[in-house]
Structure formats: C-alpha cells, structure tokens
Structure 1
C-alpha cells in the first residue's frame, strides 16, 4: 500500500467514525468546497459543501433511532493527484437487517489532492435494487 492509499484510508475511516458519532465538523473536514454527492434519500443530487452539510441532520436522527453506519470492505486506488475508493457499509436498523441481513450500502468516493492534502470531491451512495 502506498502512502497516499494509507492517507485516504485514514481519511475515510475518520469520516465514517464522524458520521457514526454525529460529528458534523469532522464529517465535513476532508470534503472539497465544491463537493458533488449523489445520495439515496432526496435530495438525490447535492452540490457544494453547504448543501452537503444540510443532508446530514436527518441521517444523524436516523442513527439516534438505532441505525448503524460501519465500513465492512474498502478498496482505494490512488494516483498522483486523483484517487477513488469504493466501499460496502452496514447501514440500517436492526429491523432492516432482520428483513435483509446481507444488504449493504455502496459508497464510491472521488478524491483530489491539492497542496499535499486529499479531499473528497465526489461522493455516491446507493443500495442494490432487490426483487420482491
């Protein structure tokens, strides 16, 4: 693993822990001002750090009602100044996992490095469609 891959893994781990803790400042810390996010709940497309910030309170409330948010698999590919990562996360309540124990949130991140600092420029969350 390269130093950049390790740095990105650490960044993503900090972010996931911040999400789990409901720590807004830490969730935002390593995101670019011009972040673009495609999300599961509306709004499905978010542009800019201010709009990104506005999406989190509803999710933090969901966690306070018992939802978990934890990385179970993560892969990182880093170039000189751009990188991407994809992960699977356990994201849901006990009831969600009783209905579908293997369901995982898919996460894809695009990062760029400026002045030796990595920042998330693109974030995409999705759940696989399940047939009824």
Structure 2
C-alpha cells in the first residue's frame, strides 16, 4: 500500500544538529525500494494560497495556516502496512526535530490492472487490424523505436504511418501474444517489460512468427494511461558482428 509522508519542520527548533537526510533516502530508496520518490519544498514564505469565493479568485501570499510547523517536503512510500510506514517515518532525521505525518492513499485505484487492459486493447487492435484503435493507446508525443523500419518514430502521426506500412505487408489478422509482462507502477508513470510473440501471414504467402522484447513507458493522462515510449528488440535471422543477434 502507498503512503504519503509529509515532512513537517518547526521554525522554532534548532535543526543544526540534525543528521543528514541522504542516508535515509539511500536506505529506503535504492536499497529497500520502500521510498518511491519525494522532494523538498521551498519555505512557507514562498507559498501562495488560492481560494475562490463567489467566482472571485482570492490569492494570498504565504501558507494557508499560520503555524510554527510547516510542510518542508514529502515522500511517497510503498509499504506492506501502516506499521512499516510508521517505522520508516521514525527513521527520518526530521522526526527528531519536527514531525512526520503518515497518510495512506485511497485504495480504490488499480493502475496495474488498467495498464494490463491497455495492453489487451493493443492485442485486440492487432487482431482486428484496427489502426485507429491501436493508436488510441498511445500519447500524442509518443516516442517509439519501430523494428520494421529500424527508425525511431516521434509522435503518434509518424507511428501511424509506420503501422500502416507494417499492416500492408500482412494478410489477415495479426496474432499478438504477451508471454510475460512485468510492471513497475508509480503515481503517474509506469514501466513494463514483456516478451511478445507476433504471428501473421505475409501478403506474399510467407509467415511471420517472431518473439520480441518490448520495453514500454506509460504515463497517466487525466483518467487513463497511455503509452509514451516503446522500444522493441527483435532477433535477426542471422548473427551480425557486434549485435548479439538482436535488432534493437
């Protein structure tokens, strides 16, 4: 489960003897994978509070509440339960001079499930040879390395042209089978690593049957996920010096 850790400083406390934060970030992030990301915030004097009353935008310089304690930064934690999150917060150096507020995220979101449904949509679009349906899975500014042309396609319009050329070489439905999909999901960004088998009949009567390694970057845009980066590596029919047998 994910937790928001609000790092609360206290401007009345001398923090000169506080331990550095970097070791905590290293342990919880790089070593244990509990801290997903976080950042410091500028001081309350740089804050702007915005309210709307009767259609009028009211802007006030400074924090929304005058208090000696203020939010100095935040961290996103992924923990098994609240007790693990509290233990992580207790290790934060600011806990010795300020306070740490641990607040769980709402648990009604299923980002991995949404991304897997997006991948299933690509499979169905390939089977139906529906380019519009496939392109709807991609963000307008997507960057894709297309294995057929061997070129990087920037933007969904360029990707559409590459997909049209690819479908022109194929006859009938395209069978796309995801053999393995591993996801790492953050709040608005996710990465997927998969083995994808593609089978189809070529217009010249031949057959296509290849398994590729696909690395995909996803971004949450509004209320849906879309693909913003995709890199596909397919095997060569023969080995070339320095390629390791892959075209990537």
TM-score class, shorter-chain normalisation, is 0.7 to 0.9
Separation in 1, partners of 2:194, 2:156: 22
Q: Which residue of 2 aligns with 1:61?
A: 168
State the TM-score, normalizing by the size of structure 1: 0.81
* Aligned pairs (5 A) from 1:47-126: 47-64=154-171, 68-93=175-200, 95=207, 97=209, 104-126=211-233
Residue 169 of structure 2 aligns to a residue in which SS? helix
RMSD of the alignment, in Å? 2.3
Separation in structure 2 between the aligned mates of residue 20 and residue 59 of structure 1, nearest angstrom: 14
Which structure has more helix as a fraction of its residues? 1
Q: What is the DSSP-based 3-state SS (H/G/I as helix, E as strand, rest coil) of the residue aligned with 1:104? A: strand
| Structure ID, larger Rg | 2
Deviates further, 61-70 or 16-25: 61-70
**1:38 equivalent among 145, 153, 156:** 145
Q: What TM-score, normalized by structure 2, do the two folds share?
A: 0.46
The total of aligned residue pairs comes to 126
Q: Distance in 1 between matches of 2:157 and 2:140?
A: 8
The answer for unaligned runs of 5 or more in structure 1 is: 98-102
Moved over 6 A (4+): none
Structure 2's unaligned 5+ residue stretches are 1-108, 202-206, 241-248
Structure-2 change in CA distance of 1:28 and 1:66 (3 Å):
closer
More strand by share: 2
